[in-house]
Structure 1
Amino acid sequence: MALPDMDTSVGHSFGLECDGVVIKQIGEVSGLTAEQDVIELKQNTADGTYVTKKLPGRPKAGEVTLTRSLTADNSFEKWVKDSRFGKVNPARKGCAIIVFDHEGNPVKRYVLVNAWPKSLETVPLEAGDAGDAGVLTEKIVITYEQMDAD
């Protein structure tokens, strides 16, 4: 999966893998971040100079939004139903967001630890759009405790 030196990648498409099941029709990924708190340490040095040091703190949990065209596949809906009514432990999954190149080869994986769906939205479903030729999409927001890149 490694790219040659000095080469860059274009994300042609994306996939979501959860517990061995891969959904390859993801068209957009947004909000994928790995973040941590910053701790400021203010002190005087031995010569009396006042300094502020910044130290790494606790990692923060994150959220990512995945968008795909609406299909007959109901895996997103099933996952959301599995997490309802406080049943989040069975819905927590080890997931990975996969970036594919134009030939369908995986280029990069972002591993999500203890991921579960926060929300699912189908857009646009508005009365004025019934005759439009636009594509209906599903947006799922997944919350996770930690993100690591493979």
Structure 2
Amino acid sequence: MPLPDLDSSVGHSFGLEIDAVLIRQITEVTGLKMEQDVIELKQNTADGKYAIKKLPGRPKAGEVTLTRGLTEDNSFESWITDSRFGRMSSARRNGSIIVYDYEGIPIKRYKLVNAWPKSLEISTLKAGDTSVLTEKLVITYESMEVE
């Protein structure tokens, strides 16, 4: 459902969908971007002046970091185990980061192509601390498509 022209999206509700499994407990997504190389073409113009023209180059692969509260769900751990032991045929997956509106309707989808987990980090364990334990999963992907 597209937003009206003057409204903007509030990033309060989003989730990760991998192999038709939706994980909605994600609390933060960082590093989501599309990027490509820049090629500099150095040349002389018709009147003899030196000019640099910038051209689009190859697309770059990306990385995104997902943070969620620590739960008994072990989907992140089992996914990274596949990549750690070289089972890349099962580790490489296509998935999407989905942004929802206030009514829970998807308004934007960032599709990650050939994504696999690079690292999993558990927050600091400290006796007497009352903060929520989190896990951060860094996912590397070959390309991203916006739907």
Sort the TM-score into its range (normalised by shorter chain): over 0.9
- The letter for the 2-side match of 1:80 is I
2:13 is the counterpart of 1:16: no
Task: Provide the identity percentage.
Answer: 71
State the Cα distance separating 1:72 from its structure 2 match. 1.2
Q: Which residue number in structure 2 is paired with residue 131 of structure 1?
A: 128
Match in the other structure for 1:103: 103
Structure 1 gap ranges (5+)? none
Aligned to 1:147: 144
Matches within 5 A, 1:24-63: 24-63=24-63
Equivalent AA in structure 2 for residue 55 of structure 1: L
User: Which residue identity lines up with residue 135 of structure 2 in the other structure?
Assistant: E
Q: CA deviation at 1:113?
A: 0.5
Tell me the distance in 2 between the aligned counterparts of 1:30 and 1:138: 14
Determine the C-alpha separation between the residues in 1 that align with 2:102 and 2:76.
25
Give the root-mean-square deviation of aligned CA atoms: 1.1
Kindly state the Cα deviation for residue 104 of structure 1 after the two structures are TM-superposed: 2.1
Q: TM-score when scaled to structure 2?
A: 0.95
Q: Which structure 2 residue ranges, 5 or more long, are not aligned?
A: none
The 1-side partners of 2:3 and 2:101 are apart by 11
Q: Residue 84 of structure 2: SS of its match in structure 1?
A: coil
Number of the residue aligned with 2:4: 4
Moved more, 140-149 or 78-87: 78-87
In 2, distance between residues paired with 1:73 and 1:13? 19
Name the residue aligned to 2:65: 65
* Letter matched to residue 130 of structure 1: A
Contact 1:122 1:138 in 2 (8 A): yes
Which amino acid letter does the alignment assign opposite residue 66 of structure 1? L
* Farther off after superposition, 25-34 or 99-108: 99-108
Residue in structure 2 matched with residue 79 of structure 1 by the alignment: 79
Quote how far apart the aligned CAs of 1:89 are.
Answer: 2.3
Q: Which whole-Å CA distance do the structure 1 matches of 2:2 and 2:95 have between them?
A: 20
Superposition TM-score, scaled by structure 1 size = 0.93
Q: CA deviation at 1:144?
A: 0.2
Between 36-45 and 84-93, the greater mean CA deviation after superposition: 84-93
What is the Cα deviation at residue 33 of structure 1?
A: 1.1
Number of the residue aligned with 2:90: 90
Moved more, 61-70 or 105-114: 105-114
